[in-house]
Amino acid sequence: MLKKPDPMVVATKLLARKKFKDTGKQFNMIAASWIQFMIHDWIDHMEETQQIELVAPKQVANQCPLKSFKFYKTKEVPTGFWEIKSGTLNIRTPWCAIYGSNEKRLHKVRTFNDGKLRISEDGLLLLDQDGTAVSGDVRNSWAGVSIMQALFIKEHNAVCDTLKREYRNLGDEELYRHARLVTSAVIAKVHTIDWTVELLKTDTLLAGMRANWYGLLGKSFKDKFGHVGGAILGGVVGLKKPENHGVPYSLTEEFVSVYRMHSLLPDHLQLRDISAAPGSHKSPPSAEKIPLPSLIGRVGEKTSSGIGFIKLMVSMGHQASGALEPWNYPMWLRDLVAQDVEGMDRPDHVDLAALEVYRDRERNVARYNEFRRGLLMIPISKWEDLTDDQEVIEALQEVYGDEVEELDLLVGLMAEKKITGFAISETAFIIFLVMATRRLESDRFFTSNFNEETYTKKGFEWVKTTESLKDVLDRHYPEMTAKWMNSASAFSVWDSPPPSPNLIPLLFRVPK
Ligand code: HEM
């Protein structure tokens, strides 16, 4: 079952990019980088030392950049539960993307002075002697993720300054710990009420995600009276105690699978000339194009230093990300130098598209139809139930015949007809919704300890008054956002118009 149909065939016939498709104005390269920044905060599977090899079958070999490739098997461990007997291990710890998942890395990123983290004078990440970035997580990273990390290191350091001014008796360790709490809460909040809302641009979702954080009673009520009522009225954040639903906290394999979004990545980063005057809707003129592979890892850090933080951010803000559709998986990821946990290049190149198909199967993630049944969604009985695109239907037929039960999850998620306003499939959305809520409600720092005593009065105020990535950018780069950002959200393409005001209160709007 692991090789049926062959992952290299699936990757070649249904995933590999033919012509780049973008998301229009909805989602930009900052949004694509943000979600990778989050993945680097949440998950990375532990591997075995034993390698596996995939070989391209004859029928597709001449279309595969790699005729064969080797990678490490996912490590399987006994869970100790009676129902699900084995599972996998996560080598990342929660809220680690700028702090690191172990003591060694944490030591590397801290200054041990006033609670602060290390950052370069030019606002980018510092580089080690070997050229790797000094940051919480550097594996399989690129300039987009590095500038997110650099921005939130600045945020952390700014929280330290504020807390030090307010509470003179706090030492390095206390300042560091409180600033880490505040910064992590800001990251979680941006993800919940800003990024997710832009990905699924509908009023219903906006209302739903804001209700997760603020409850149906809304922000003004919560700011004034604190958390009142249960999760529905007052929101998940600030609940009196964490809720684990009787299962120890974990991220599910399904959660990992729906975030397989490598098609968000384009082939080039279109740099902008920020020395020119802004054009219409604050758009900067185009300058040179940089191939994405030259922005990865150590080479990427070097390229970024030559470009600079503001030019990188403005360029990413003005460029649309790739669409999550069939035939939009970057070809350059089909011949990729993968890295180890220290960010060092591995000798074996991988075909990431084929590897992802294999990984879901290896980790026992259900195929598309079974996955939907598990979510109480209607399965498909023919390809026409999945998509109206005749060309895609023909390709599905060629790879899977009439065996709709064999459809791989990743292919199904890309091919599924999208709800208007959604950049992702409805199938993925259900997982998002369940897990986004779980991540908040099972964390004591968002429930029983979401208060002034734990965060400090100033720190708590910082979280309450930061609503979006734009707020964070405005705080550290006010001139950049004023000059180059026309959009309301930092995650939509920056020359798009802010939405026209809607006088109907959010909860009373009729879904389109
Ligand atoms: C230059 C950019 C990127 C590179 C070089 C890269 C590379 C990789 C590599 C080598 C793996 C491990 C594959 C394996 O052994 O199973 C991986 C896993 C993954 N990537 Fe990316 N990736 C990039 C961007 C992204 C983006 C934009 C997303 C969007 C959400 C993403 C989501 C994931 C997920 C969910 C996994 C699975 C993690 C796990 O198995 O624990 N990546 N990526």
Sign of the C-alpha dihedral computed for residues 390, 391, 393 and 394 taken in this order: positive
Q: How many CB atoms lie within 10 A of CB 109?
A: 22
How far apart are alpha carbons 23 and 122 in whole angstroms? 31
Instruction: Determine the atom of ligand 1 nearest the C-alpha atom of 47.
Output: 15
Instruction: Determine the pLDDT at residue 227.
Output: 65
- Residue whose CA lies nearest to ligand 1 atom number 7: 140
What is the pLDDT, as a whole number, of residue 402?
Answer: 97
Six-digit token string for 185 = 């809460």
DSSP string, 229-283: SSHHHH-STT-SS---TTS-----HHHHHHT--GGG--SEEEEE-TTSPP-GGGP
- The one-digit pLDDT tens for each residue of the chain (512 residues) are 788 999 999 999 999 999 999 988 889 999 999 999 999 989 999 999 999 999 999 999 999 999 999 999 999 999 888 888 899 999 998 888 899 999 999 999 999 999 999 999 999 999 999 999 999 999 999 999 999 999 999 999 999 999 999 999 999 999 999 999 999 999 999 998 889 888 876 665 666 666 666 665 666 666 666 665 666 556 667 777 888 888 878 889 999 999 999 999 999 999 999 999 999 999 999 999 999 999 999 999 999 999 999 999 999 999 999 999 999 999 999 999 999 988 899 999 999 999 999 999 999 999 999 999 999 999 999 999 999 999 999 999 999 999 999 999 999 999 999 887 778 888 998 888 888 888 888 889 998 999 999 999 999 999 999 999 999 999 999 999 999 999 999 999 999 987 666 655 544 545 45
pLDDT of residue 509: 46
442: closest CA among 247, 228, 211? 247
Going from N- to C-terminal start, the domains of the chain cover 1-498
CA of 262 to the centre of ligand 1 (A): 7
Between CA 137 and CA 37 the distance in angstroms is 9
Task: Round to whole Å and give the CA distance between 206 and 421.
Answer: 12
Q: Does domain 1-498 have CATH number 1.10.10.10?
A: no
Q: How far is the CA of 40 from the centre of ligand 1 (A)?
A: 9
CA torsion 312→137→20→257, rounded to 10°?
-150
- Residue 70's alpha-carbon distances to 49, 50, 323, in angstroms, are 12, 10, 28
Which residue from 36, 336, 432 has its CB within 8 A of the most atoms of ligand 1, so it is best to mutate?
A: 36
Per-residue model confidence (pLDDT) at position 424? 85
Residue 262 annotated as binding site: yes
Give dist(CA 184, CA 94) in Å, integer: 9
Q: How crowded is residue 65: how many other Cβ atoms within 10 Å of its Cβ? A: 17
Predicted confidence at residue 81, as pLDDT, reads: 83
CA–CA distance, 427 with 440 (Å, rounded to integer): 21
Q: Nearest residue CA, atom 27 of ligand 1?
A: 36
pLDDT of residue 250: 81
CB-count burial class (<10 Å; 0-12, 13-18, 19+) for 419: middle
Residue 40 is among the residues annotated as catalytic for this protein: yes
Q: Of ligand 1's atoms, which has the minimum distance to the CA of residue 32?
A: 27
Ligand 1 atom with minimal separation from the 45 CA: 41
Q: What pLDDT, on a 0 to 100 scale, did the predictor assign at position 313? A: 98
Greatest C-alpha distance within the chain: 70
For the entire predicted model, the pTM comes to 0.93
Residue 258's nearest CA partner among 38, 27, 29 is: 38
For residues 491 and 30, what is the distance between their CA atoms, to the nearest angstrom?
A: 6
Integer Cα distance of 434 and 447 in angstroms: 17
Q: What is the DSSP letter of 195?
A: I
| The pLDDT of residue 506 | 47
Question: What residues are in contact with ligand 1 under a 6 Å CB criterion?
Answer: 32, 35-36, 39, 43-45, 71, 140, 142, 256, 259-262, 264-265, 296, 336, 338, 352, 355, 359
Q: Encoding tokens for residue 425?
A: 């499939």
